[in-house]
A = this chain, B = another copy of it.
């Protein structure tokens, strides 16, 4: 899962970045409203963490423009200690959740995961697909009940696929959601990782549709 952080305060931005990366996300950061808006407009993020007090273009406007342009990714608003006006304006502009500073870092992780989950239509934090289980919070994966040890990247790939079971996911789509913006699109490391994943969870679970992408085999339907 790939997220965008829009936060002007460098210390907090960095802290958030570390948090989310250690939480298993691919992360891009923007330090003002304009950059933030542009990134969110052009890159396919699974969620955004958006501060309201921003230079150049304030958070509410950023959000408003995104929504106007038809972007539907979930947005988690950060705002200074409960200022009602901000909060309301945020929701009106299309925020999905908000946190007032100061907040527990952990809280951000949980809320983000919940947002992403809901946005892809899953109620439970634990995704299931055939014999596969994936807990988005603890980051654990099980196959037929036995735990499977995955690396960070393997986990991201599997998580994205499990958020869209049965759907054909193109290589580029997968790369865009698993890597951050600096990644070289000509690399074949994704294929290598897919291979390793297959070895761990059984080759038949991830099906290759030649010329189109990959599909996670669902519980025989669809």
Contacts and interface: CB of A to CB of B under 8 A. Distances in A.
B44 A102 contact: no
Contacts of A102: 41-42, 69
B152 A138 contact: no
Interface of A: 21-24, 41-42, 44, 69-70, 81, 100, 102-104, 135, 138-140, 151-152, 166-168, 170, 209-213, 222
A152 B69 contact: no
20 contacts: A21-B211, A22-B170, A22-B213, A23-B212, A41-B102, A42-B102, A44-B104, A69-B81, A69-B102, A70-B100, A70-B103, A70-B104, A135-B222, A138-B167, A138-B168, A138-B222, A139-B168, A139-B212, A140-B222, A152-B210
A109 B139 CA distance: 33
Chain multiplicity (copies): 2
A86 to B, nearest CB: 16
A211 B20 CA distance: 11
Contact of A211 (B69, B152, B211, B213): B152
The majority secondary structure among interface residues of chain A is loop
Nearest to A21: B211
Contacts of A21: 211
Contacts of A69: 81, 100, 102
Contacts of A139: 168, 209, 212
Given A138-B222, A151-B210, 17 more contacts: A21-B211, A22-B211, A22-B213, A24-B212, A41-B102, A44-B104, A69-B100, A69-B102, A70-B100, A70-B103, A135-B222, A138-B166, A138-B167, A139-B168, A140-B222, A152-B210, A152-B211
